[in-house]
Amino acid sequence: MKVILFGATGMVGQGVLRECVLDPDVAEILIVGRTPTERSHAKIREIVHKDLYDLSPIAEQLAGYDACFFCLGVSSVGMSEADYTRITHDLTLAVAKFLAQQNAQMVFLYISGTGTDSSERGKTMWARVKGRTENELLREPFRAAYMLRPGYIQPMHGVKSKTPLYRIFYVVLSWLYPVIRLFARKYAITTEDLGRGIILIARSGAPKRILENSDIEALVSSK
């Protein structure tokens, strides 16, 4: 399986990249991003491209892939709805539409989040925007598209958030993670299990197109 990974420098993307490197069924990983990851491995090829809204200059290099793992995202804290929409919705759809043209048989997996509002009419801004993004992605002409909605994500194996404040947050909560898993298992997942779940879904499919945290965990646990 040949995969394209967006958002490899973020916490989720780091976890997904690690699992792709380890998985024998993943033959090639093309990382596309604005900044280099400085990761080196025989499976990894990297394209640094500043304008992700326009992928036409690298079109030929994006053809022939089986799956795209879209892990790029930002926090909505302190952002206006217009700015958050431009990054969360507009950028995601620009990439998806372009890849659908280049790879008709591609499987597209989008990392969304617990609480996403599929109705697009709720009071919570980020949830509405992500709901709209999911709905439009599901209409794109991929072989299949899956929306993954993890809850609390515990970084593992040296994976770190790019945001200093979040890194402190995760260090503190790492001590409580066993308790979180015990009492709120359906809302928590590790970067390892999330990465494994993404690869599994890309390879074998899933019974739903929108998967909540518990659905991802159940798929991983069954293998």
Which CATH number fits the domain that encloses residue 60? 3.40.50.720
d(CA 204, CA 143): 12
Question: In angstroms, rounded to a whole number, what is the distance separating the alpha carbons of residues 133 and 150?
Answer: 16
Which structural domain range is residue 22 located in? 2-221
Q: Give the pLDDT confidence of 162-200 residue by residue, as tens digits.
A: 665 555 555 655 656 566 666 566 778 999 999 999 999
For residues 19-45, average pLDDT? 95
Three-state SS for 46? Answer: strand
Determine the pLDDT at residue 155. Answer: 82
Kindly state the average pLDDT of the residues 2-20.
95
Average pLDDT of 48-68?
Answer: 97
Domain count, the chain: 1
Q: Which two tokens stand for residue 172?
A: 């503190």
Q: Do strands 2-6 and 67-70 pair parallel, antiparallel, or not at all (unpaired)?
A: parallel
| Percentage of the chain lying above the pLDDT 70 cut | 87
Please give the pLDDT value at position 138: 98
The partner residues of 4 in beta bridges, in order of sequence, read: 30, 68
Q: pTM above the 0.85 mark? A: yes
Whether residue 56 is predicted with pLDDT greater than 60 in this model: the reply is yes
Backbone torsions φ then ψ of 135, nearest 5 degrees: -60, -40
Q: Is residue 147 helix, strand or coil?
A: strand
Q: What is the pLDDT of residues 114-153, one digit of tens each?
A: 999 999 999 999 999 999 999 999 999 999 999 999 988 8
Amino acid at 54: D
Q: Would you state the pLDDT for residue 134?
A: 98
| Distance (Å) of CA 203 to CA 20, 109, 196 | 12, 11, 11
Instruction: Please state the three-class secondary structure of 47-76 as a single string.
Output: EECCCCCCCHHHHHHHCCCCEEEECCCCCC
